[in-house]
Structure 1
Amino acid sequence: MYAITRSLIRSPALRQGIQRMQVAAPARQVTLKVVPAAEAIQTETFDEKNIRLGRELSPHLTIYKPQLTSMLSITHRGTGFALTGYAWALGLGALMSSQDISHYVTIIEGLHLGSATLVALKFALAFPLAFHSCCGVRHLLWDTGRFLKITEVYLTGYVTLGISFVLSAILACL
């Protein structure tokens, strides 16, 4: 590439053409407009400009029907955030508290909650772990090139949901 451009620049015909272009190029005149500081600060926002021009807001997300795949993806991220919150809460609690976990179990038992309430609370705590784990296995299977057809993606999505609920129920009943 370098040798080609170097030989082109040495070409007398090309040099003459460049010289003619430089001579024939018209001079450009630039005018500057001085704007007072108060006027320069008052600019319209993106929304104000669109309203002034009569542009409507694009419907973006409101036109889409929720799909299993998108809902599972959003839930997978949400359960990841929940698990991160669990880890932070348990870690900070262990660092800041002089009590061990049995103290907190005694406090919860002292609330005299019904068994259904305790199972529901344990299910709510167990579901993020079960769902995130099942989705992780699903993604690992996808990484091997399996279950990537749309029917298989939906099938594995329903299987993931089913196994997540069963695992959460088992953990909640312990």
Structure 2
Amino acid sequence: MAAALLRNVGRQNLLAKHKAVFCVVKPSGPMSTEQAYQHMDEFWKKNRRLNRPLSPHLRIYKPELPMMTSLAHRVTGIAMALTVSGASIFFFLAPGDYEHYLNFVQSLDMGPVIITAAKYIITVPLAWHYLNGIRHLSWDWAWGFGLPKLYQTAYFAILLTLIVSSVLVFGFK
């Protein structure tokens, strides 16, 4: 009981002595437009004086492999979701059936280079998203967080994506 009383009295004395440090009161009312522009001008002058970049992502963050693989994982996921949704809506609303459109594509008589490129365009995002997703799941199990492991698993996922895509492209006729 005495200790709690001493602690409370000491805390009040400390706050009273250092009121300027602990209790800085700033006006909390709305700013006028002029005050906002003045505040913004002071902010940018300070940044120029300290030689800070105006857009830090352009000068500070260099694209590195872990960041780019994560970005590619997100982009492929969004692209596949939009593609599957769009194709589903198209085939639901379009006249004719799937066989009609398959025959139409076959009648275009495209060369083997175009067909192989189209197969890669379809299989690479699918393989990448699946394999890199396994890599992301390993992080959920707290494996592979060290920087050397991040790079090793990224290179492995890229290599395995190319292998799996090639098997899918050339394995089925």
TM-score (normalizing by structure 1): 0.67
Aligned-residue offset at 1:62: 1.6
Residue 111 (structure 2) pairs with residue 128 (structure 1): no
Q: Percent identity?
A: 24
| Aligned residue type for 1:73 | S
Q: Residue 94 of structure 2: which of 89, 94, 97 is its match?
A: 97
Retained in 2: the 8 A contact 1:120–1:172?
no
Aligned-residue offset at 1:99: 2.4
Retained in 2: the 8 A contact 1:131–1:164?
yes
Q: Tell me the residue number matched to 1:85.
A: 82
For structure 2, list consecutive stretches of 5 or more residues without a partner in the other structure: 9-31
Alpha-carbon RMSD across the aligned residues, in angstroms, is 3.0
Q: Tell me the residue number matched to 2:145.
A: 148
Residue 108 and residue 46 in structure 1: after superposition, are their counterparts in 2 closer, same or farther (change >3 A)?
farther
Q: In structure 1, how many angstroms separate the alpha carbons of the residues matched to 2:122 and 2:39?
A: 43
Aligned-residue offset at 1:65: 2.1
The size of the alignment, in residue pairs, is: 138
Aligned-residue offset at 1:167: 1.5
Instruction: Summarize the alignment of residues 40-51 of structure 1 with structure 2, pairs less than 5 Å apart.
Output: 44=37, 49=41
Retained in 2: the 8 A contact 1:76–1:131?
yes
Aligned-residue offset at 1:55: 4.7
Flag as ranges the 4+ runs of structure 1 deviating above 3 A: 43-47, 49-57
Which structure's CA Rg is the greater one? 1
Q: In structure 2, how many angstroms separate the alpha carbons of the residues matched to 1:70 and 1:85?
A: 23
Q: In structure 1, how many angstroms separate the alpha carbons of the residues matched to 2:165 and 2:38?
A: 49
Q: Tell me the residue number matched to 2:56.
A: 60
Q: Secondary structure at the match of 2:142?
A: coil
Residue 156 and residue 52 in structure 1: after superposition, are their counterparts in 2 closer, same or farther (change >3 A)?
closer
TM-score (normalizing by structure 2): 0.67
Q: In structure 1, how many angstroms separate the alpha carbons of the residues matched to 2:129 and 2:93?
A: 28
| Aligned residue type for 1:156 | T
Retained in 2: the 8 A contact 1:69–1:154?
yes
Q: Tell me the residue number matched to 1:17.
A: none
Aligned-residue offset at 1:101: 2.2
| Aligned residue type for 2:109 | H
Aligned-residue offset at 1:158: 0.5
Q: In structure 2, how many angstroms separate the alpha carbons of the residues matched to 1:167 and 1:85?
A: 23
For structure 1, list consecutive stretches of 5 or more residues without a partner in the other structure: 9-34
| Aligned residue type for 2:76 | T
Q: In structure 2, how many angstroms separate the alpha carbons of the residues matched to 1:169 and 1:46?
A: 58
Q: In structure 2, how many angstroms separate the alpha carbons of the residues matched to 1:115 and 1:44?
A: 62
Residue 109 (structure 2) pairs with residue 74 (structure 1): no
